[in-house]
Structure 1
């Protein structure tokens, strides 16, 4: 990789040095203006480049996607528009002696062939953020992940991992951080769904999204406290504006688990007297049976999912409103081989290469399992007030109901062992001021707002966490200045959090409570500089914080779906993060790439530390964990490099290196992602007979052994085994082979997209360090997946 980076720099320097000096005679006070937007979203592309070939110079778009070139001579110019993740566009323009010229709005087409999804952009006006590098998946790259969970889909982005509990529960990890350190914005709403558990997967239907965007690093200024690790935006496509009815149908099938998925969407817009009114309905059904490793099935790993959503939107000149509702309903079976009855059974299960019970395939789903329902209601209104800017108010109510059923019912009845219902209300008020120009051609823009949240949790049956009430409020302000090659941003935020937990005195049977309140101020500074039209340097420094949640403070019980006994610590203090990153992005014709360095120092970092001795309860023996607090550092490198051998053949390499360290104890941390390299060789055909957008790809994923983990030792004392560091050492490195074929084919008057892919084609036996069930079983073996996407359109009524 070092040689590749050197070649990159040499090519760039040579290109810069040999760029011809070219000018035309005549008047040289012409001004060229325009705007660059993405064809897929219509949103402005911030940081896109305009290069004038004859002058060997160019500029970069500002925060509204606008560009401006001054002091041009009269004549004809060749303009090259570039933006990472989009196809390069070359056009020509004639500049006269009138003093100015404009090219209007220039639309760039997403480059789904090279899958360059890392961009520097302000994707949506209602979700502005500080100047930070984002990674996005959209178009064909997103279609390739259909049928997977949100956590698995995001692993296609460099620097993204997932922590798992078996094959069916996957949780996103950004630069080694997960759970409440990552905010998920589901259609603009902060998702609140008991996300503190490592085995609590996000209750988000991936088919809702037309783009998945990840902001890496601390991003709490705009999105609220807790965003120490980053933010994930699940963004649906814009509502339809043209009268008529359309939609799409997605079908997915896989051999491993005999997975079947069907997802449909219908949408439309009204005309005449109801101009501006649009609607959308969407639903998904998913079912999978026992997942198979290379040598055996994993008993009770079936899962089922039923999702529904509806959206009504009205836009009338300077104001608009939206109402959205979604319901996510899933039932997930948990691997029975992780359930043990004694310490001896636990030690034997950890040391065993294969589980004792190896059943045949089945769709059966029994105990143990978890059933989760998540409802979200959103109401949004906005007003475009001319020079006063844009005002947006968003209210949301969420209800998350979690039921966890143990392997054997203690009571002998059908009630769950754990029941948690979390009700959340949020209110967001945002003002975006109208951009203002300066005398030197620069532009100021900014936003300010308020975020409020209230939560209440009710539990039943066994104790894991107490009932609680939670209140939070935040005020923020962000300002941005863009001129020529520079874009600068700064932000400031104040947060207040209040938590009250309720307990029952076992002796007096009286309810008592404990109360916490915290407040904090954080800030961020960012800058992007266009070194050349094809080379951008972005830097950001920011702070963020996270108040301890009720699980950190007061957990005390068996977390059945994690097969672990967890203990909280009521003396925990808020986490405080100091984050910095530096990213260099290059977009050439043959070679393009992005290399990013990051460092995240977290004071009072909270994590679940494995205890030395497993805990024995009436139910059985379980690994025990205690919430602990240390000073920790997370630093690493993300590199995405693409080289086009020809216009059809391209190699993309995504590499993630991460170092995490416990400075307090001078030791390594547990459950930190190992280094990985994901490489893809792809050949494209624009047209092959009746087929269009055809491609074939070969994938190779290498995941190293996590050598930077606590040393695992065990010794016997009085007949009991004492562990240190963890309950098993990290598994060996592994390499997985995959392949994929895709194309679009005519189907009557429609066109159907077809993707056939295979994972772990060599059927390699391996275990992943981030899987909580790695102590007991291997990862899934070979799987072949077929994805069909059929656009739907209906003729208009006469």
Structure 2
């Protein structure tokens, strides 16, 4: 009888539980193809802004349970374009997917109140997928992103250092985010790159235009949000991936591997990466000495998820030994030379020639940089009241050491440690009469410390930043209206900073007090900066084919610490910086207009912008009474920050042709043009035409790609592709010519080739992808206008007529990606 009692009891409990489940709010439906209305088995449904995924059954049917409300979901299936759909729980409905060639809208979560479709936000936004980044040959994450987006470029210092520019503005005007957390790593330096593992990024979102409304200071030009990959499958199994690649030009090899799992209510992952390279080459300079690097990254994630709630904790470690060239060479042979004496005794014309063995070596030279970046942060969302609260709290530590003493290699010239505490609270209110409100508070607390160094370009300082904002959105079906306002406050403080001579080494060192031999390097400073920013935009969808966007935004940027406080040498940049303590914040007004057409066989986008900046800060090269560049420290040029006004305007266009009747053909072309004018009346009066244009403005550029692809030609293979790419850069005659700060740059054309194949298992899951690419097929000798190495020249003329260092020559790359 006992077994009957147990059986009846179990049946009663299971029946009660089933009844309880059936009473929970749910959404049911079927995923089908269009045209044809054929059920699509194993389609994946992802709830945006969560890591929750649901798998359709063998008949394409699905059912999932969540709290009542509105949700944005993305539906994916092999061979079909992702579909976005806003649903209301409880409810039901079928979802149609179009063939992959018929491109649909993507999702973006950057610089908007919540998950929003690109087509329904007035901000100019671009998405770069992991697939696009994987197929791009690059040495760093910024280069992997910028090729795919018109209007985005980079300031480079060799293969592994790229600083993003958006529409002609960069440095502390572009805010780089890691999973929404602002990246803080001494980004003011010319050769200070982005300390993020390129192999760990699954997606990049780029906002073109002021994003101060969401992020405050430093987003006056836009935002680059690099989003790491996270485990998504809920099959209770451990999954992973591995990538290995090799590049022929500088012998770069890269390795990365990750494992992770996503059980029902939790997830975890671990990733390790390493890449190393020797000196790169081109046919003008040969091997460019001191351009190698050795970079290691580690990351770990744990997370918890429940219906309506999520909480993640992630930690990252970045460690990079980075060489920086100085461009010194023999005046006749043009062979590179290296420094053996300290700056006060160094004679560049008599330096020894670099041995051939060192040019091909992976060993890091004694004069290099060591950059370490540690990051730990918490990110979560929680239902509170009728709305949703999002939190983001993080801590970062950036340690930068630049070694520039050949007689004492272990002594760093620059040694700075930057500690940053980030915080953000954001509340999305329940929709009220068609209005969606978001209120947020974010900012940071920052402390910079000069450690064991001999050069001090910036002082020890403390910074506190806080801002609050209110966003509102009204969706009227065809018309979407958005607006918002933000107020910011930043307090910057430092005490008197003294230096003195170290009797043991003879170098300058940091002093705690004046002392007998001390001197005041940075007088005390205390100032409060504030600013108000805002935006107003609209989107009008005339039809499914035509969309028009317009946006007006006011941005705000507080002067960076070097701009107001620097007075010293940055050894890596080989520049002596001079700041100005009287600078005021930058403000800008930018207007954007966009036209977007989406046909079954083609897509077209056309965007215009106009950006006017007051209190614009820029660098100007200084010259001495003899007409020669001023060298406050021998062998290093001197630059001073200036403040004036600027006007930038331009346009970007792109079109994509993918005929539905010729599915193996894919043609894409983009172009970008920006003009930057100096509108400082005083400077124009004294310097004339030389001061007409702004520095670091990219020339007119086009990018054309012709791709041939095929799929399912073999049972075990899919996604064959062959790609031809043409990069064109026009001659740049618009440059800042005052005191030869910049010079004209010749145009160039580069041909790149790529091919690849993916293999799938019996479950139709890609487990291996192989690719081969050749960049700069004809080994063209060229210099990018934003290549800093172009100006690394010590002689007025050379035997071959070239000056400065050229960009990388032909580069053949092979890459293998494995998934399990």
TM-score bracket relative to the smaller structure: 0.7 to 0.9
> Does residue 1:585 correspond to 2:581, yes or no?
no
1:306 and 1:160, CA in 2 relative to 1: closer, same or farther beyond 3 A? same
Counterparts of 1:327-726 in structure 2, within 5 Å, are 327-338=317-328, 360-385=359-384, 388-406=386-404, 408-409=406-407, 412=408, 414-436=410-432, 438=433, 443-460=434-451, 461=453, 462-505=455-498, 513-613=524-624, 620-644=634-658, 646-664=662-680, 665-666=683-684, 667-689=692-714, 690-711=716-737, 724-726=739-741
Shift of 1:369: 1.2
Counterparts of 1:169-188 in structure 2, within 5 Å, are 169-188=161-180
1:178 and 1:235, CA in 2 relative to 1: closer, same or farther beyond 3 A? same
**Aligned residues of 1:492 and 1:522 also touching (Cα < 8 A):** yes
Query: Which whole-Å deviations, capped at 9, do the CAs of 1:752-793 have from their partners, x for residues lacking one?
Result: 11121110010001111111111221111000111111102x
TM-score, normalised via structure 2 length = 0.78
Aligned equivalent of 2:808: 780
Shift of 1:597: 0.5
Residue 373 of structure 1 aligns to a residue whose secondary structure is strand
Give me the whole-angstrom Cα distance separating, in 2, the residues matched to 1:484 and 1:512: 58
**Aligned residues of 1:485 and 1:530 also touching (Cα < 8 A):** yes
> Does residue 1:103 correspond to 2:93, yes or no?
yes
Give me the whole-angstrom Cα distance separating, in 2, the residues matched to 1:281 and 1:337: 40
Give me the whole-angstrom Cα distance separating, in 2, the residues matched to 1:618 and 1:127: 50
Shift of 1:121: 4.3
Residue 140 of structure 1 aligns to a residue whose secondary structure is helix
How many residue pairs end up in the alignment? 688
Alignment partner for residue 190 of structure 1, among 177, 182, 187? 182
Residue 762 of structure 1 aligns to a residue whose secondary structure is coil
Give me the whole-angstrom Cα distance separating, in 1, the residues matched to 2:239 and 2:229: 13
- Of 198-207 and 119-128, more deviation after overlay is shown by 119-128
Give me the whole-angstrom Cα distance separating, in 2, the residues matched to 1:34 and 1:691: 28
1:120 and 1:593, CA in 2 relative to 1: closer, same or farther beyond 3 A? farther
Aligned equivalent of 1:294: 283
1:505 and 1:265, CA in 2 relative to 1: closer, same or farther beyond 3 A? closer
**Aligned residues of 2:631 and 2:638 also touching (Cα < 8 A):** no
Residue 553 of structure 1 aligns to a residue whose secondary structure is helix
Residue 683 of structure 1 aligns to a residue whose secondary structure is strand
Structure 2 stretches lacking a partner, 5+ long = 1-28, 33-42, 51-68, 329-337, 500-513, 685-691, 792-803
Residue 729 of structure 1 aligns to a residue whose secondary structure is coil
Residue 621 of structure 1 aligns to a residue whose secondary structure is coil
1:217 and 1:89, CA in 2 relative to 1: closer, same or farther beyond 3 A? closer
Residue 778 of structure 1 aligns to a residue whose secondary structure is coil
**Aligned residues of 1:336 and 1:407 also touching (Cα < 8 A):** no
1:688 and 1:659, CA in 2 relative to 1: closer, same or farther beyond 3 A? same
> Does residue 1:280 correspond to 2:237, yes or no?
no
**Aligned residues of 2:366 and 2:409 also touching (Cα < 8 A):** no
**Aligned residues of 1:63 and 1:445 also touching (Cα < 8 A):** no
1:649 and 1:128, CA in 2 relative to 1: closer, same or farther beyond 3 A? closer
Give me the whole-angstrom Cα distance separating, in 2, the residues matched to 1:182 and 1:668: 20
1:763 and 1:105, CA in 2 relative to 1: closer, same or farther beyond 3 A? same
Give me the whole-angstrom Cα distance separating, in 2, the residues matched to 1:398 and 1:651: 42
CA-atom RMSD, angstroms?
3.5
Residue 391 of structure 1 aligns to a residue whose secondary structure is strand
1:605 and 1:618, CA in 2 relative to 1: closer, same or farther beyond 3 A? closer
**Aligned residues of 1:219 and 1:228 also touching (Cα < 8 A):** yes
Structure 1 stretches lacking a partner, 5+ long = 1-32, 46-61, 68-80, 92-99, 350-354, 713-723, 793-798
> Does residue 1:249 correspond to 2:249, yes or no?
no
Aligned equivalent of 2:259: 266
Residue 242 of structure 1 aligns to a residue whose secondary structure is coil
Query: Which whole-Å deviations, capped at 9, do the CAs of 1:503-551 have from their partners, x for residues lacking one?
Result: 3356665896210101111111111110221111111111111111211
Give me the whole-angstrom Cα distance separating, in 2, the residues matched to 1:360 and 1:159: 35
Aligned equivalent of 2:745: 731
1:482 and 1:346, CA in 2 relative to 1: closer, same or farther beyond 3 A? farther
Give me the whole-angstrom Cα distance separating, in 2, the residues matched to 1:185 and 1:108: 33
1:247 and 1:513, CA in 2 relative to 1: closer, same or farther beyond 3 A? same
Give me the whole-angstrom Cα distance separating, in 2, the residues matched to 1:459 and 1:121: 39
Aligned equivalent of 1:11: none
Query: Which whole-Å deviations, capped at 9, do the CAs of 1:458-508 have from their partners, x for residues lacking one?
Result: 013221100000001111111111122111101111110000123335666
- Of 680-689 and 450-459, more deviation after overlay is shown by 680-689
**Aligned residues of 2:73 and 2:84 also touching (Cα < 8 A):** no
1:711 and 1:123, CA in 2 relative to 1: closer, same or farther beyond 3 A? closer
Shift of 1:260: 0.6
Give me the whole-angstrom Cα distance separating, in 2, the residues matched to 1:127 and 1:346: 59
**Aligned residues of 1:41 and 1:237 also touching (Cα < 8 A):** no
TM-score, normalised via structure 1 length = 0.80
Give me the whole-angstrom Cα distance separating, in 2, the residues matched to 1:766 and 1:753: 32
> Does residue 1:745 correspond to 2:759, yes or no?
yes
Give me the whole-angstrom Cα distance separating, in 2, the residues matched to 1:346 and 1:126: 58
